[in-house]
Amino acid sequence: MASYSTNEFKGGLKVMLDGDPCAIVENEFVKPGKGQAFNRVKLRNLMTGRVWERTFKSGESLEAADVLELEMEYLYTDGEMWYFMLNDGSFEQYPVEKRALGDTEKWLKEQVVYTVTLWNDNVINVTPPNFIELEVVETDPGVKGDTAQGGSKPATLSSGAVARVPLFINEGEVLKIDTRTGEYVGRA
Amino acid sequence: MSQTDWQPTASIETLRERARLLAHTRAFFAERGVLEVETPVLGHGGSTDVHLQSLSCEAMTDAGQERLWLQTSPEFHMKRLLAAGSGPIFQLSRSFRDGEVGRRHNLEFTMLEWYRPGLDLEGMIAEVESLIRHVLPFDPGPCRHYRYRDLFRDRLGIDPLTRSLTELRDCASRHGGLDMSQEGRDDCLDLLMSLIIEPDLGQQCVAVVTDYPASQAALARHHRDAEDGSLVAARFEVYLAGLELANGYDELTDPQEQAARFADDNARRRQLGKREVAPDQRLLAALEAGLPIGSGVALGLDRLLQLALGKACVREVMAFSTSNC
C-alpha cells in the first residue's frame, strides 16, 4: 500500500492511524525560523467520526487507507442488516450493519441515494444527502394563518426522525429537511 | 481541473495596501539614514543551517556550468557589504526555503533584513519595536521581554538549559503526543516552543524573547547567563499574536568561530543524512577582513503585513502563493 508524507497531507486524503482509517481535515505546518519543522494535523476517524489532533515530525509518513466513497441507493432492511445498491447500473448490493449506519438510520428512505464509505470492501459509514424529502406521519393539528409568527412543534417523519416544524404543518405533508442540522427547510 | 486558480491569492485592494506599507517601511529606514541595498538572490554559498533547506539551480556563468544557491536570507551578502564599509544597511529581499509551505509559510517570501554596526542588542530590539509600531495601523500593546528559560519554567516547569536530555524528551513526548525519545535537545525544545509556548506569545503585546540556548545561536555570539553562568545565545526573537516575526543577533564576527559552526552544521547534516552545504568561503574571508561589531535582524515582512491587514494567512498578502504560482 502506498504511503503519504506530511507534506502531501491534504484535506480529504485517507490514511491509516492507530489501525483506523482516517480522513485528513487540516494540516498545519509549524516551524520555528531556524528549528525543526512539525505538522499539526486534524484527522477524522472514519470509524467513529471523532476528530483527532496529532503532531508529526515533518517528513514522517502514514500508510494510505483503502477507502472508497460510492453513491448507493437504499433498498430495504430485514431488521438485522440494511441493504444498499451501487448506483452505477451494476446492481451490486452491500449489506450494512447498524453500527456503520449510525445516526443515518433515521434518514433512510427507499430509492434515495446515499454516500457509502467502504474500507477494505466493508461499509463503515453512510452519509445521507444534505436535503431529503420526507412525509409527516405524526404531529399536532396545523394552526391556520400562522405563517410569520415563527412558532414550532415537533413532527415525526416517515423515516423515524423528529424535526421541529412550523405550526401550520399537517400530517401527510411532504417536507424538505436538512439532514445535517435536522431542520425544516420548507414544503417539498 | 478548475481553471479559476489563475486568480491572485491577494485581492488587488490588499496589494495596494501592501505597496503602501512597503513605501512606509522604506521611509522608516530613509529617515534613520539606513541605506537600502540589493544583493543577489543566487549565490555560490548556501545556508549550512540544519533546518534550512536551500534550493539550488544549475547555471551557465563565466566560470562554466555551476551550481548556484537560492538564498535562504540575504545575510551572507549583506555581511560582506558591512565588512566592505557600507555602514548601516537594509534590504527587502526575496528569500527561499525548500519545503516550507503552510498558513504562515511560503516557499519564497519577502525578508526585511537590516544591520546596524555599533548598535547593541537592546538598541536593536528598540528599533524593531519602532518599526512594528510604524507599520501596524493599530496599537499592538506594550513591549514585554522574556528570557527563553523563564518561558519554559513558567509554562512547563522545566529549565531548558539545565534539564537532562531524558527529561526534555519526556516533556516533549507528553505535550506533543508523539514519540520524541530519539530526538536531540533542540528538537525537543523546538517542539515545546512551537506547540505550547508560541501560541500565547504576543497576545495584546509585542513579545521579545532573549537568551536562547547556546546550541541555537546560529550566527549570534554566545555570552554567559548572569544567573548561573550557563552559555546562552545573544539573540532575540519578536512575536506578535502568536506569530514569530523577527530574529535578531548580536552578530558573530570571529571567522574561526564561524568556520567551526559551519563545520558543526555539516557534521549534523551528515548524521541526519541531509546534503552537506559547502561553507561560504567569501563570507569567511569577509569576517577575516573585519566585520564591524553590531546587530542584525531578519523580519518576515509578509507576516507583518498579514497582521497589519488582518489576514489569516501569508498567501492572502502575496500576489501568488507557491500553490498557484
CA-CA-CA-CA dihedral for A145, A148, A153, A159, to nearest 10 = 90
Given pLDDT bands bounded at 50, 70 and 90, which one contains residue A143?
Answer: confident
pLDDT tens digits for B248-270? 999 999 999 999 999 999 999 99
Asked if A38 has any chain B CB less than 8 Å from its own CB, the reply is yes
Closest residue of chain B to A29, computed from CA coordinates: B102
Picking from B99, B176, B186, the nearest residue to A35 by CB comes out as B186
- Bridge-based pairing of strands B231-240 and B243-250 is antiparallel
CATH class, domain A3-63, is mainly beta
Q: Which of B:295-324 have CB within 8 Å of A?
A: 298, 300
Amino acid of residue B68: L
Q: Where in chain A is the domain with CATH 2.40.50.140?
A: 67-127, 131-187
Given pLDDT bands bounded at 50, 70 and 90, which one contains residue B91?
Answer: very high
pLDDT(A142) > 80? no
Asked if A144 has any chain B CB less than 8 Å from its own CB, the reply is no
Asked if A50 has any chain B CB less than 8 Å from its own CB, the reply is no
Residue contact A34–B193, C-beta within 8 A: no
- B149-169 burial, b if ≥16 CB within 10 A, otherwise e? bbbbeeebebbbbebeeeebb
Residue A152's pLDDT is 87
Residue A149's pLDDT is 61
Residue contact B218–A38, C-beta within 8 A: no
Does residue B265 lie within any of the structural domains? yes
Does residue B52 lie within any of the structural domains? yes
- CATH code matching the domain that covers A131-187, chosen among 2.40.50.140, 3.40.50.720, 3.40.50.300, 3.40.50.150: 2.40.50.140
Residues A80-105 have a mean pLDDT of 92
pLDDT tens digits for A58-89? 999 999 999 999 999 999 999 999 999 998 88
Contacting residues of A for B298, CB less than 8 Å apart: 33
Interface test with A, best of B47, B50, B100 (most A CBs within 10 A): B100
Smallest Cα distance from B104 to chain A, Å: 8
Residue with cell 498558513: B103
Residue contact B99–A38, C-beta within 8 A: no
Residue A87's pLDDT is 86
CA distance A147 to A151: 9
Residue contact A35–B216, C-beta within 8 A: yes
CA distance A34 to B216: 8
Residue contact B99–A35, C-beta within 8 A: no
Residues A105-128 have a mean pLDDT of 94
Q: Which of A:58-77 have CB within 8 Å of B?
A: 58
User: Looking at chain A, how many residues does it have?
Assistant: 188
Cβ atoms of A57 and A35 within 8 Å: the answer is no
Residue A151's pLDDT is 82
- Bridge-based pairing of strands A122-127 and A131-139 is unpaired
Contacts of A75 (CB under 8 A, 6+ apart): A83, A84, A85, A93, A110
Contacting residues of A for B213, CB less than 8 Å apart: none
Residues A106-134 have a mean pLDDT of 94
Residue contact A34–B99, C-beta within 8 A: no
Residues B82-92 have a mean pLDDT of 98
Q: What is the 3-state secondary structure (H, E, C) of chain A?
A: CCEEEHHHCCCCCEEEECCEEEEEEEEEEECCCCCCCEEEEEEEECCCCCEEEEEEECCCEEEECCEEEEEEEEEEECCCCEEEEECCCCCCEEEECHHHHHHHHHHCCCCCEEEEEEECCEEEEEECCCEEEEEEEEECCCCCCCCCCCCEEEEEECCCCEEEEECCCCCCCEEEEECCCCEEEEEC
Contacting residues of B for A7, CB less than 8 Å apart: 99, 101
Model ipTM value? 0.87
Domain CATH number, residue B314: 3.30.930.10
Picking from A7, A34, A55, the nearest residue to B99 by CB comes out as A7
Does residue B239 lie within any of the structural domains? no
Q: Which of B:74-133 have CB within 8 Å of A?
A: 99-105
pLDDT tens digits for A2-39? 999 999 999 999 999 999 999 999 999 999 888 899 99
pLDDT(A150) > 80? no
Residue contact A28–B191, C-beta within 8 A: no
Residue B2's pLDDT is 61
Residue B272 CB burial class (10 angstroms; 0-12, 13-18, ≥19)? exposed
Given pLDDT bands bounded at 50, 70 and 90, which one contains residue A145?
Answer: low
Residue contact B190–A58, C-beta within 8 A: no
Residue contact B99–A58, C-beta within 8 A: yes
Does residue B158 lie within any of the structural domains? no
Residue B146's pLDDT is 97
Residues above pLDDT 90, as percent of chain B:
94
Residue contact A34–B52, C-beta within 8 A: yes
Residue contact B49–A58, C-beta within 8 A: no
Cell digits of residue B200: 500565547
CA distance B44 to B23: 31
Cβ atoms of A175 and A184 within 8 Å: the answer is yes
Contacting residues of B for A56, CB less than 8 Å apart: 178
Residue B21's pLDDT is 96
Cα Rg of chain B (Å, integer): 20
**Averaged pLDDT of chain B:** 95
Picking from A7, A55, A58, the nearest residue to B176 by CB comes out as A55
CA distance B235 to B249: 4
Number of folded domains that form chain B:
1
Q: Where in chain A is the domain with CATH 2.30.30.30?
A: 3-63
Residue A22's pLDDT is 96
Residue contact A35–B247, C-beta within 8 A: no
Asked if B272 has any chain A CB less than 8 Å from its own CB, the reply is no
CA distance B96 to B73: 7
Q: Which of B:210-249 have CB within 8 Å of A?
A: 216, 218, 237, 244, 247
pLDDT(A147) > 90? no
pLDDT tens digits for B275-284? 898 889 999 9
Per-residue DSSP letter, B258: H
pLDDT tens digits for B207-260? 999 999 999 998 999 999 989 999 999 999 999 999 999 999 999 999 999 999
Residue contact B177–A54, C-beta within 8 A: yes
Does residue B190 lie within any of the structural domains? no
Residues B105-127 have a mean pLDDT of 97
pLDDT tens digits for B118-152? 999 999 999 999 999 999 999 999 999 999 999 99
Cβ atoms of B44 and B77 within 8 Å: the answer is no
Interface test with B, best of A6, A27, A30 (most B CBs within 10 A): A30
Residue contact A56–B178, C-beta within 8 A: yes
How many Cβ pairs within 8 Å bridge chains A and B?
68
- CATH code matching the domain that covers A67-127, chosen among 3.30.43.10, 3.50.50.60, 1.10.760.10, 2.40.50.140: 2.40.50.140
Does residue B247 lie within any of the structural domains? no
Cell digits of residue B21: 506599507
